[in-house]
Chains A and B, each alone.
Chain A
Amino acid sequence: MTTKKQYAHLHILWMCIFFNFSCSVDKEASPDQAYVFVKPDNFPEPTYTFQNNPVTKDGFELGKKLFFDPTLSRDGSVSCNNCHIQGTAFADSQQHPLSVGVNDQRGIRNAPSLVNLAFMEEFFWDGGVTHLDFVPINAIESDFEMDETLANVVKKLNADPVYLELFNSAFGIDKITSPYLLHALSQFTVMMVSSNSKYDKHMRGEGETLTSEELEGMEIFSSKCGSCHSGELFSDFSFRNNGINDVFSDIGRAGISEFDGDVGKFRVPSLRNVALTSPYMHNAKFNTLEEVLDHYENGVIDSPSLDEELKNGSQLGIPLSEQEKEKVIAFLKTLTDREFISDTRFMNR
């Protein structure tokens, strides 16, 4: 009796392993699984309100269509995809250090990568938006981004029989309203989970091993960068002044907190896919990871809100030798997720 039970357990175990394996290898094999949000084992709990907006295939595909559709902008020239490109982990292209909106208007900040939004509590460089659903309104209505009104986007969508049908399939509604537009976009973006980098596979024991240089880089990174770029998302998502300036035409977090001590503070970005998301910093100040590390080593500029973590020694910044920088960069490159940037679910086809 006992033996039989044990065998039964073993069978279930094997089935689990088999299914897991088949899913991760070939998402096309079980189409429904491709639209299920899965928290990677090494990630924190998601923050998104899935109970109000469960992801479905129809909702995700509708969100994708909207993401790539320039009708969201006033003159039909700018889509979400203009500033958020899959090849750069849904950050902007290097040709757009600052976002470019309708009439080629220049934005004030570098468009950030959209990966792993499901796990974040605040959005944008200043954290002014606290729910993923509300993120697109900023881009749609900003006069130097899409320069459109949410109400007019809804009006245009309601005049389009294709969209009426797609919204009906996804949400069972006959008239499109803005919360459903925002829910569809969230269903698309919330699925942008990047968790299959070399680093992840090393950590989860999935057949990849970091080289000794990368491992040393990880060690240095965790002792010298890990107080801000902490956890599996490589950010504590706090707001800090990292010494890239001492005059702040863009006050950053202080615009939201209305607290003078926050002038010049911006969100600590996640470093996942960081090798793909050049240029760096909210104002696109640096083009390469080398420049970024040189900044932390000897370029930090003092100002009243400069982060305490950068004031440890006799010199501002973080002591880093050239060899250490190389190793850290080797490690940062292991955070690149090639499966994510080639995931066909996110492609416009």
Chain B
Amino acid sequence: MKKLLLALIATIVLFSSCEENGEENPETFGTFQLEFDNVVGSQNMSLSDPGSGDYMYTTDSGEPFNLTLFGYYISKIKLEGPNGELYEDEVNVSANADEVKGYYHVLESNASSRFITLDDVPAGSYNKVTFTVGVEEDGVQEGAAGGVLDPAEGAWFWNWNAGYIGFAMEGGAQNSGQEEVVGDGWTIHEHSFSFHVGGWKDVEPAEGEDQKFVNNVKTVTLDFDSNVSVAENLSPNAHIIVDALKILDGVGVDFSTTYSVHAPKLGQPFAEFIPDTFILDHIHQ
């Protein structure tokens, strides 16, 4: 019986692959671009110098602040369409930087990093994009990696609790309780804040036990308001707004007590609002 079933499956697989190969029109491809536009509420984001006492933004609760660093990892991008169209960006971890695929480190300080261009997207209609903010277990557990995952070249990596920081913002706030700390070649400025959101371990708690570890890697799905077409001569662009205020107001951050977040559990309240932070503004067909 099992053998029969196997033979049947094999026939179906063979048959369907033959059919694809035999198609009259070979599959064509186009590109699709994601543009990440970082903002603070209704204002454009612009970064200040560390230590600056010039606070250009205000939280919902009236706390003045500025930003000196803002960014995140985007990975595992997927496009889906109304007729079952599916494109999954290739993901690969390697020591060889050229072979690292599908991980993007988007930094406000690096304009080109805000544009992710997906090549080889099969021609078709798409109405939804899904991506991961952060680096999941399978990205960490392959071991040392190059390119945007190389800690010696600016990758955001926690040594002590090995894994990547998925989302981070740093800046200054008038009410921040941070005191000045001067180390050997580094300074933590007075009134600064630093929110690093990391942690990828997904451990089911044993029965009767509290949750241990925190997985702060989040998946974001954005629906398009209409179908967009990808074709050889059609390269749509999704303009995605990333609003820092959604996190700060979502958490209801009080800088006087919350100014240093460097562990998964402390980052958890911030991570909860990551999906709300990414908003599809519009699509250019």
Contacts and interface: CB of A to CB of B under 8 A. Distances in A.
A110 interface: no
A129 interface: yes
A260 B159 CA distance: 22
A257 B212 contact: yes
Interface string B87-99: 0000001110100
B245 to A, nearest CB: 27
A140 B146 CA distance: 18
A327 B142 CA distance: 43
Chain B contact residues: over half helix, strand or loop, or mixed? Answer: loop
B140 A131 contact: yes
B144 A258 contact: no
A177 B146 contact: yes
B144 A134 contact: yes
B16 interface: no
Interface stretch (B7-15, B119-127, B148-156): B148-156
B210 A259 contact: yes
Interface in B161-186: 161-163
Contact of A128 (B95, B150, B151, B162): B162
B143 interface: yes
B264 interface: yes
A134 B212 contact: no
Contact of A150 (B151, B160, B201, B265): B151
Question: What is the interface residue range for chain B against chain A?
Answer: 20 to 34
A262 B142 CA distance: 27
A251 interface: no
B220 interface: no
Chain A interface size band reads: 35 or more
A262 B213 CA distance: 11
Contacts of B153: 151, 177-178
B212 to A, nearest CB: 4
B214 interface: yes
Contact of A134 (B97, B146, B159, B265): B159
Contact of B209 (A134, A177, A261): A261
A261 B144 contact: no
A60 to B, nearest CB: 16
Interface in A107-160: 128-134, 137-138, 141-142, 149-151, 153-154
Nearest to B154: A151
A348 interface: no
A185 to B, nearest CB: 9
Interface string A242-274: 000000000000011111111000000000000
Contacts of B144: 53, 131, 133-134, 178-180, 182-183, 186
Contacts of B77: none
Contact of A177 (B97, B143, B157, B210): B97
B143 A53 contact: yes
B263 interface: yes
Contacts of B135: none
B25 interface: no
A217 B228 CA distance: 73
A236 B210 CA distance: 22
A138 B161 CA distance: 10
A2 interface: no
B140 to A, nearest CB: 7
A258 B264 contact: yes
Interface string B178-196: 0000000000000000000
Contact of A131 (B94, B152, B162): B162
B143 A258 contact: no
Given A52-B142, A130-B141, A141 B159 contact: yes
Contact of B160 (A138, A179, A182): A138
Interface in A21-72: 49, 52-53
Contact of B150 (A130, A142, A179): A179
A191 to B, nearest CB: 16
B159 A138 contact: yes
B248 interface: no
Contact of A186 (B143, B146, B150): B143
B212 A52 contact: no
A1 B34 CA distance: 70
A178 B96 CA distance: 10
Nearest to A74: B184
B56 to A, nearest CB: 31
B152 A52 contact: no
Contact of B145 (A138, A142, A179, A259): A179
Contacts of A255: 160-161
Given A256-B161, A257-B212, A177 B95 contact: yes
Given A258-B212, A261-B210, A151 B140 contact: no
Given A53-B144, A178-B150, A179-B95, 7 more contacts: A52-B142, A53-B143, A128-B160, A177-B95, A177-B97, A179-B146, A255-B161
Interface of B: 93-95, 97, 140-146, 150-153, 157, 159-163, 201, 209-214, 263-265
The 4 closest A-B pairs by CB, nearest first: A179-B95, A178-B152, A179-B144, A133-B143
Interface of A: 49, 52-53, 128-134, 137-138, 141-142, 149-151, 153-154, 171, 177-180, 182-183, 186, 255-262
